[in-house]
Amino acid sequence: MSSAIKELETKVVAARVAAKKLARLSSEVKNKALLQIAENLVLYRDEIMAENQRDRAAADEANMSAAMQDRLMLNTARIASIAMDVKAVAGLPDPVGEIFDMRTLPNGLQISRKRVPLGVIATIYESRPNVTVDISALSLKSGNAVILRGGKEAIHSNLALAKVVQRSAYEAGVPEGAIQIIESTDRAVVDHMLKMSGAIDLIVPRGGAELIKFVASHATMPVLAGGVGVCHTYIDKSAKLNDAVAIVYNAKVQRPTVCNGACRHRRSFPEGHRAGVRQGRCRDALRLGFPADTTGYAFAQDRARHRQGLGQGVPGADCRRQGGQIDR
């Protein structure tokens, strides 16, 4: 057995043990842990950014695309945003133990459904280090242990973030072993992980369409495969023009490299309104070749970033994949 596989199996066993205790953990302890994670992410941001710089230097040396490098980057603002997201999770109602869909049968028997933790959730993701924190926080809130396996492009960033998350959670009373990160970047780990149906209850791929397809077709346990980004904005001709322009501009420009950055915008504009769009905040828009009855605009801060991060934004472009390699 290779050291990488041994690491995986050892950490999955530890997560399995911790999951039984975590499932019974009180909302107060879980929320305390989440708030402590958020606080320490900001407190230790310099250490996190130093490790992220190692990944970014390697990415630059490997000629990684500008879009992928942008996804990889962590700075003060992004770490603060991640911390705020963790606080938002802490503020959500605890789903564990919630009873719903209760009904009474004709014979008087009451039947209901109750939310309980799944157990151990594993996730495989690519080059966005924020996923390390996002999935840890959501798993903790829902009472599930988690196994994290990020891409090699962000290994130093992921390890730094996971260290903060683990230390913060365990100090707050979360069972040790509930949050695990796989340090090996050996691709054999993913293949083996997908076969561990007796130990892993659910696997969540976070990345491009190819990664999701690979995991869905090889996993022996249930797979939670989300969409590949809600990246279209449809605006009805009855919409208020100023509001529509602001929404479309934000959807495209706020951060073009994310997977749900808008790729296509459609509206049946009267000719006068088309001119209004071009003259406003979106005067830098690129006119796309939509059919005669619709007009599409792709907004970007500059053409180079637009082309690198958004598949050039042409009609029919596959916006589900925006650069990067599958790291199995």
Give the lowest-confidence range in 11-15, 169-173, 255-259. Answer: 255-259
Amino acid (1-letter code) at residue 43: L
pLDDT in tens, 114-160: 999 999 999 999 888 999 999 999 999 999 999 999 999 999 999 99
Residues in the chain: 328
Tell me what pLDDT residue 20 has.
Answer: 96
Tell me which of 280 and 61 has the higher pLDDT. Answer: 61
The whole-angstrom separation of Cα 250 and Cα 253 is 5
Does 199 have pLDDT greater than 50? Answer: yes
The whole-angstrom separation of Cα 54 and Cα 109 is 61
Does 306 have pLDDT greater than 50? Answer: no
Does 286 have pLDDT greater than 90? Answer: no
Does 165 have pLDDT greater than 90? Answer: yes
Does 265 have pLDDT greater than 70? Answer: no
Tell me what pLDDT residue 180 has.
Answer: 98
Mean pLDDT score, 79-104: 96
Tell me what pLDDT residue 232 has.
Answer: 72
Tell me which of 12 and 305 has the higher pLDDT. Answer: 12
pLDDT band for position 293 (cuts 50, 70, 90)? very low
Tell me which of 214 and 265 has the higher pLDDT. Answer: 214
The whole-angstrom separation of Cα 8 and Cα 2 is 10
Does 326 have pLDDT greater than 60? Answer: no
Does 248 have pLDDT greater than 50? Answer: yes
136 phi/psi in degrees, rounded to 5: -60, -45
